[in-house]
Structure 1
Amino acid sequence: MEYEITGGSFPIVVCTLQEGETLKNETGAMAFMSSDIKMDTNTGGGLLKGLGRALSGDTIFLNYFTAKSDNQKIGFSARTPGKIFPVRLDGTNTIIGQKNAFLAAEDGVDLDIYFKNKLGAGIFGGEGFILQKFSGNGVVFLEIDGEVIERELQPGEKLLVDPGHIAAMEESVQFDVERLKGAKNILFGEGLFFTRLTGPGKVWIQTMPISKLAEAIIPFIPTTRE
């Protein structure tokens, strides 16, 4: 498979498939495809796995696109302004991504829900802590809100991050959801929770989580008056 990412702040990845090659994506992300591509839809590993993806913010069903001849093209577009971030998995590296991170992947990539903390912390610990796990072999395309900043954490090095700004990280990075202390910090500070990341490993930080973009836009949306 070959691919090209274009579109600037409104990106699309265009993949060229040879006969027999397969890509999968969540429903709704496919923008166009050549006529000699066969599409199939299923849960991608059973109902429980599909329900797990739904809990992490994606759809229960996945679409599978298989080329019936060479040089077939298919495009997957991002749902929000930002970046499409490709990661190549070789069977030894595993990536943990934010909820809603998955855009598309080669068939050899395995998708699963990922919990490091208790379920309550995942739900109430802020955006990004119902996570997705990507492993296996192949390229996975992730959606990044805004721009992306890469940090390489050394063993034992710590980084405090607002939960919504975590786009992805290597599985070797340890993380903890912590409640902010102090009434003034909670009422007037950055939020109720933050994330402590501990190396070694790479961390990818997104500059504009879609939740913050929505908060910035809401005051400018006209309201109806009776």
Structure 2
Amino acid sequence: DIEMSTSTRGGLLKGLGRKLAGESLFMTTYVCKSATGMITFTPEAPGRILAFDLEAGQSLICQKDAFMAAQEGVSLEMHFRKRLGAGLFGGEGFILQKITGPGLVFMEIAGDVREYDLAEGEVMRVDPGHIALYEPTVDYDIAAVKGLKNVLFAGEGLFLATLKGPGKVWLQSMPLNNLAAAIRRYIPSKG
């Protein structure tokens, strides 16, 4: 027997903060009222579900809509990108999600996922849409793609994200906007 209740969890301001970060104003809580019970969740798009057992104070920064579910002790709040370029050209805007433990949290990632552990000062450049989540120790910035031919013919856009370690980064293989663009080609147009 599973009981379900919905509230703004933390009040209206916390709920509005979650809404700005891409989640619902409301949070749903499920409580098992018997000795055994099961609840299941599925991702909104083809992809993977990742589980993280966060310690008290441990955080992850993630794209909007990555949060799926968590234990009671986990907090979900807005995370602002501090750099103008990263906010304007970083694919997700200025507002991301910050998830902080303690507790188990489940994240949904579009497509497959690849984890990288960047060493101190190690730099990775990647299309901003492929960044699913990263640890707060990772420095995130945006840099313009160099070279006219690269801009015109590479198909990667005008900007690349620069991730500088130390810290872990999780990349997704199929950002939702790429999936939507791929599907759109097969939808018949009116005519």
Same fold, TM-score > 0.5, yes or no: yes
TM-aligned CA deviation for residue 130 of structure 1: 2.9
Q: Which has the higher strand share?
A: 1
Equivalent residue number for residue 52 of structure 1: 17
User: 2: CA distance between counterparts of 1:163 and 1:63?
Assistant: 30
CA contact (8 A) 1:98 1:129 kept: no
TM-aligned CA deviation for residue 177 of structure 1: 2.4
**Structure 1 SS opposite 2:157:** coil
**Structure 2 SS opposite 1:214:** helix
> Which residue, out of 163, 174, 184, partners 2:139?
174
Counting matched residue pairs gives: 190
TM-aligned CA deviation for residue 193 of structure 1: 2.2
> Which residue, out of 159, 165, 168, partners 1:199?
165
Structure showing greater relative contact order (alpha-carbon pairs closer than 8 Å, 6 or more residues apart):
2
Give the AA of the match of 2:12: L
Equivalent residue number for residue 71 of structure 2: 106
TM-aligned CA deviation for residue 108 of structure 1: 0.7
Give the AA of the match of 2:134: M
**Structure 1 SS opposite 2:180:** helix
TM-aligned CA deviation for residue 120 of structure 1: 7.5
TM-aligned CA deviation for residue 203 of structure 1: 0.8
Question: 1:180 and 1:157, CA in 2 relative to 1: closer, same or farther beyond 3 A?
Answer: same
Structure 1 segment 1-226 matched on structure 2, within 5 A: 36-118=1-83, 121-127=86-92, 130-189=95-154, 190-225=156-191
Q: Which runs of 5+ in 1 are unaligned?
A: 1-35
Give the AA of the match of 1:64: T
CA contact (8 A) 2:81 2:95 kept: no
User: 2: CA distance between counterparts of 1:119 and 1:104?
Assistant: 30
**Structure 1 SS opposite 2:129:** helix
Question: 1:120 and 1:153, CA in 2 relative to 1: closer, same or farther beyond 3 A?
Answer: closer
User: 1: CA distance between counterparts of 2:45 and 2:94?
Assistant: 20
TM-score scaled to structure 2, two decimals? Answer: 0.90
CA contact (8 A) 1:177 1:193 kept: yes
TM-score scaled to structure 1, two decimals? Answer: 0.77
> CA RMSD, aligned part only?
1.9
